Chain A
Amino acid sequence: MTLLLVAMGLTALGGLCALAAGRRPRAATAFGVGSAAAGSALGLYAALGALLSGAGRPLAGAPQWSMPGGSLSLELDALSAFFLIPTLLLSGLAAVYGGEYLAAWRGRKNLGAAWFSFNLLVVSMALVMVARNAVLFLLAWEAMALSSFFLVAFEAGKPGVRRSAWVYMVATHLGTACLLAMFAVLGSRAGSFEFEAMGRAAQLSPALAGLAFVLALLGFGTKAGFMPLHVWLPEAHPAAPSHVSAVMSGVMIKTGIYGLVRLLAMIGPPPAWWGWTLVAVGATSGILGVLFALAQHDLKRLLAYHSVENIGIIALGLGLGLLGVSLNLPALAVLGFAGGLLHVLNHAIFKGLLFLGAGSVLHATGTREIDHLGGLLKRMPQTGAAFLVGAAAISGLPPLNGFTSEFLIYLGAFRATAADGGTIPAAVPAVMAIAALALIGGLAAACFTKAFGIVFLGEARSARCESAHEPGLSMRLPMLVLAAGCAAIGLCPLPVVRAMGPVIEPLAGPAASKVGGELAAAGGMLLAITIGAGLCLALVALLALLRLRLLAGRPVEETVTWDCGYARPTARMQYTASSFAQPLSALFRIFLGTREKLRAPEGLFPSAAGLATETPDACERGLFRPAFGGLAWLFSRLRVLQQGRVQLYVLYVVLTLLALLVWKLG
């Protein structure tokens, strides 16, 4: 714990130094990157130690704090440590990456301020995960929101970026409002804002516990990006610099999941409807998230929608876990929670990797439009290979890490439908989850085939694409490390799955004693599948080798692909992202509401033709825009009160005071 505090202090100090260095970009970058990377490495060591040793360690002798209701109580238990690991890992790597990525803005932007915000974001995320007092937690939560807001607004001069930043700001504050209400409910029952006291307080009545759960679902769900509340993700993630997108999408949204899980561990046995709700939310977010991703042609926006999808998968796992606890099905509880939480780690790794990869593409070509890219694998082989690993992992293919966590959820759901469950209340959501996961997996694979295929395969569609080149080592290294992480967790799932034991024990309730056994059994099955997948890969490699041997010594030449009878095919005749996704997006048109503007070719020798598609967010258009429009109208009515006369304002004050006095005395 002390080590972690030292790490956080180091990072914060480095941020301050960067701010002080201000407009001397090299010094600011050195301070920011150095302290963030060193602090993250140190903190990672502390968190790993805490996770492996198990027991939670409150900070002894926490100093007093004059904040009313607040205290500086911190604790590093298994759950905190588990969330800290991806947070610090990805933050450190993103810092290394960002050093080179932001170099292009040297002299044009205040990099000191950017690094200060970045380091503050890292520190506040870590603080959110170790805080054990509601006031401290909310302060860290707000610091996190503010620092990331400034990072999103980094390129505030570009059109649309400010709007994205404001959308993010409004969304995160609406979420915080729900959290305030939730902590007020819990705190008033417990008589203290200490998490420990809240957990110890007498059981909440079902209605009150339900209220707290719903508020947490709204508040934490806004940060995490559950479906109707996700609107800020596809706005903010593309707008932010890529290493920040990686941190925000990979780990910052997970603080929402962390908060939800922390609350669930705190407020006692869950009723079945909580599980139902989470499964429904998860299925909706997952399926719609991946569908919207499929319809995008902005690479980073596509990745942002995939975050919604993966948060959905995590919610599915947690929902099944809750159902398992409330229906007393140990296998479902253990595997659901383990799968959901492990997916937090996995998603952090592969989504971080994908965003960094997208950043490298953006860095090299200057565009995020998928349809303007192409053929990058030849020019950026390492970035392309890393991106491919991430794409396969996010599609849930063995033997990579995305498969590991999704498999645990599948396994839990199947166990609930058949062997030891078999009851309707467990089987129906389990089948729902299986169907949703299968659909999500298939669509995700389609979507990343599109993303990888259009961006990295084929021929370059623009001049900048043709002259693209691999970024420097400090940008490639983080991607390669993350890609290796994807493969490592996928290939050696056993130690990872076993380390999940202490993390889910406090959640599993009555099933806590069976955690080890269930995980070991699941790990065994995983190992078998991994070996199978490894054999398949070996077979493919063998075949490739064989092909190489057979072709050796024979002339091999390259030629253009089949060109439909055109004499001179150009790169623009390739499949585009929209055309690749068209069959699927046409199938799900009813959900997507894609707008098409088609100028069909006319006559025998058509000259100009065009097709533009746009898929605006259905929730934003159909839900939030009317709602906020209504609010704006309502508040404009209140202008009647604002006459600009001093006397009237005094009168308002007097009347309010009198009304309060009468109310108090009456």
Chain B
Amino acid sequence: MNGSLPIEAVLVLLVITDLLLLGSSRFRTCIRVVAVQGLALGLLPVLLHGAEAPARAWGLAGASMLLKGAVFPLLLLRVLRDTGARREVEPYVGYTLSILGGVGALVFSLWVGSRLELPGTALTGSSLMVPAGLATLLIGLFLIASRRNALSQVLGYIVVENGIYTFGVALVGGVPMLVELGVLMDAFVAVFIMSIAAYHISREFDHIEVDRLDRLRG
């Protein structure tokens, strides 16, 4: 496809931001990286259609970028400020090891991408889209599993959503608008609720460390 170069650039950016997330120790950085990731991904539908992108693709890109690039980060930054959580992400797994794990996930995704037979032969965009999406998905799950703080988990959730989004775009090209809007809406509501929940957890327990919530178990 003609316009595959910008698409691949976006995908490379996606993977780099993933690795950056694994390696950075500060929440602010992480939130900004996720914002950049969201902005880059927002471009995907437009890029896929090339120059003759219909108005609704632009509209979607705008909505997606607005949410992921501005609303989510601002929400999260506010929670970070209000809860007074520590500024470091406090992982269970060290940063270097995390990055190595991320690279491992990337290799695994490339292998899966080469083996996976997707329904419908017409893959759109670049052949890298499936591996990149899968790697993002895995890294997001890894973020959720390996960090203590509830905010990290929200970030991980957004990254997982980004991975699914990329995967979905690769699978069906222009995702039907309704579905896309639905996913966006889901993510928005989820992040909104999780932010509020994190805020309340911190009010209740003076911290938002998920690993200490196990005191609740009977």
- The answer to whether A665 and B116 touch (CB under 8 A), given A643-B214, A645-B211, A646-B210, is yes
B141 at the interface (CB under 8 A from A): yes
Q: A650-B141, A654-B141, A665-B112 are in contact. Are A644 and B214 (CB under 8 A)?
A: yes
Given contacts A651-B145, A654-B145, list 17 more A-B pairs with CB under 8 A.
A644-B214, A644-B216, A645-B211, A645-B214, A646-B210, A647-B147, A647-B148, A647-B210, A647-B211, A648-B145, A650-B144, A650-B145, A653-B141, A654-B141, A654-B142, A658-B138, A665-B112
Q: Tell whether, in the assembled complex, residue A647 and residue B145 are in contact, meaning their CB atoms are under 8 Å apart.
A: yes
Could you tell me which residues of chain B, from 194 to 218, have a CB within 8 Å of some CB in chain A? 210-211, 213-214, 216-217
Contacts of B138 in A (CB 8 A): 654, 658
Q: Quick check: is B25 within 8 A (CB to CB) of the other chain?
A: no
Tell me the bound Cα distance from A536 to B214 in angstroms: 80
Q: How far is the CB of B115 from chain A (nearest CB, A)?
A: 4
| In-complex Cβ contact of B112 among A645, A650, A653, A661 (8 A) | A661
Determine the distance from Cα of A650 to Cα of B211 in the docked complex, in whole angstroms: 13
Kindly list chain B residues whose C-beta atoms are within 8 Å of the C-beta of A644. 214, 216-217
15 contacts between A and B (CB under 8 A): A646-B210, A646-B213, A647-B145, A647-B146, A647-B147, A647-B148, A647-B211, A648-B145, A650-B141, A650-B145, A654-B138, A654-B142, A654-B145, A661-B112, A665-B112
Rank and list the top 8 A-B pairs by shortest CB-CB distance, nearest first: A644-B214, A644-B217, A651-B145, A665-B115, A650-B145, A654-B141, A647-B145, A650-B144
Main secondary structure of the interface of A (DSSP, over half): helix
* CB-defined contacts of A645 to chain B, threshold 8 Å: 210-211, 214
Which residues of chain B from 148 to 163 have any CB-CB distance to chain A below 8 Å in the complex?
148, 153
Taking the closest CB of chain B, its distance from the CB of A127, in whole angstroms, is 40
Closest to A643 in B: B214
The interface of chain A, by Cβ under 8 A from chain B, is: 643-648, 650-651, 653-654, 658, 661, 665
Distance (whole angstroms) from the CB of A229 to the closest CB of chain B: 35
CA distance A651 to B143 in the complex (A): 10
A661 vs B115: C-alpha distance when bound (angstroms): 10
In the complex, the number of residue pairs spanning A and B with C-beta atoms less than 8 Å apart equals 34
Complex Cα distance, B217 from A643, in Å, reads 9
Chain A, residue nearest B105 (CB):
A658
Question: Nearest-CB distance from B60 to chain A (Å)?
Answer: 28
Task: Tell me the bound Cα distance from A45 to B70 in angstroms.
Answer: 75
B101 to chain A, nearest CB (A): 11
Which residues of chain A are near B213, meaning CB under 8 Å?
Answer: 646
Task: List residues of chain B with CB under 8 Å of any chain A CB.
Answer: 92, 108, 112, 115-116, 138, 141-142, 144-148, 153, 210-211, 213-214, 216-217
Residues of B within 8 A of A654 (CB): 138, 141-142, 145
Residues of B within 8 A of A653 (CB): 141
CA distance A654 to B144 in the complex (A): 10
Distance to closest chain A CB from B151 (angstroms): 13
Inter-chain contacts of B153 with A (CB < 8 A): 646
Q: How far is B141's CA from A653's CA once the two chains are assembled, in angstroms? A: 9
Q: How far is the CA of A648 from the CA of B146 in the complex (A)?
A: 9
Minimum Cβ distance to chain A for residue B176 (Å): 25
Alpha-carbon distance A91/B186, docked complex (angstroms): 53
Inter-chain CA distance A605–B142, complex, in Å, is: 84
Q: Find chain A residues with CB under 8 A from B141 CB.
A: 650, 653-654
Contacts of B211 in A (CB 8 A): 645, 647
What's the minimum C-beta distance from B152 to chain A, rounded to whole angstroms? 10
B147 to chain A, nearest CB (A): 7
In angstroms, Cα B216 to Cα A653, docked, is 22
Residues of chain A within 8 A (CB-CB) of B145 are 647-648, 650-651, 654
Give Cα distance in the complex from A665 to B113, angstroms: 10
Q: How far is the CB of A658 from chain B (nearest CB, A)?
A: 8
By beta carbon, the residue of chain B nearest A647 is B145
State the Cβ distance, A189 to closest chain B Cβ, in Å.
29
Is B144 in contact with A647, judged by CB distance below 8 angstroms?
Answer: yes
A641 CB, nearest partner CB in chain B, Å: 13
For the complex, what is the distance from the CA of A338 to the CA of B92, rounded to whole Å? 72
Task: Output the least CB separation between B124 and chain A (Å).
Answer: 22
Q: Given the complex of chains A and B, what is the CA–CA distance between A646 and B216 in angstroms?
A: 12
CB-defined contacts of B144 to chain A, threshold 8 Å: 647, 650
Query: Which residue of chain A lies nearest to B117 when distances are taken between CB atoms in the complex?
Result: A665
B135: shortest Cβ distance to chain A, in Å?
A: 12
Cα distance A643–B138 when bound, in Å?
Answer: 23
Contacts of B216 in A (CB 8 A): 644
Q: List residues of chain A with CB within 8 A of the CB of B92.
A: 647
Output the least CB separation between B139 and chain A (Å).
11
A205 to B126, CA, bound (A): 51
Report the Cα distance A566→B63, complex, angstroms. Answer: 104
**Measured CA separation A645–B216 after assembly (Å):** 10
In the complex, which residue of chain A has the Cβ closest to the Cβ of B152? A647
**How far is it, in angstroms, between the C-alpha of A663 and the C-alpha of B210 when the chains are bound?**
32
Instruction: Give the nearest-CB partner of A649 in chain B.
Output: B145
Closest B residue by C-beta to A652: B145
**Min distance, Cβ B212 to any Cβ of chain A, angstroms:** 10
Contacts of A650 in B (CB 8 A): 141, 144-145
Instruction: Tell me the bound Cα distance from A644 to B216 in angstroms.
Output: 9
Q: Give the docked Cα–Cα distance between A647 and B108 (Å).
A: 22
A651 to B92, CA, bound (A): 12
Q: How far is the CA of A653 from the CA of B138 in the complex (A)?
A: 11
Measured CB to CB, the nearest residue on chain A to B141 is: A654
Q: How far is the CB of A619 from chain B (nearest CB, A)?
A: 35
The complex places the Cα of A658 from the Cα of B134 at a distance, in Å, of: 11
Tell me the bound Cα distance from A653 to B142 in angstroms: 11
Q: Which residues of B contact A647 (CB under 8 A)?
A: 92, 144-148, 210-211
Cα distance A653–B54 in the bound complex, in angstroms: 39
CA distance A658 to B111 in the complex (A): 12
Contacts of B217 in A (CB 8 A): 644
Chain A residues, Cβ within 8 Å of B142 = 654
Bound: A626/B162 CA distance, A: 52
Please give me the residue from chain A that is nearest to B116 by CB atom: A665
Minimum distance in angstroms from A652 CB to a CB of chain B: 9
Give chain B residues whose Cβ lies under 8 Å from the Cβ of A646.
Answer: 153, 210, 213
Bound-state CA distance A658–B144 (Å) is 16
B12 CB, min distance to chain A CBs, angstroms: 24
Closest residue on chain B to residue A653 by CB atoms: B141
Interface centre among A643, A645, A661, A665 (most CB of B within 10 A): A645
Residue of B nearest to A642 (CB): B217
Q: Smallest CB–CB gap between B27 and chain A, Å? A: 17
Report the minimum CB–CB distance from A176 to chain B (whole Å): 30
A646–B152 alpha-carbon span in the complex (Å): 13
Measured CB to CB, the closest approach of chain A to B167, in angstroms, equals: 13
Bound form: Cα–Cα A661–B141 in Å: 15
CA A481 to CA B115, docked complex, whole Å = 73
How long is the Cα–Cα vector from A349 to B210 in the complex, in angstroms?
64
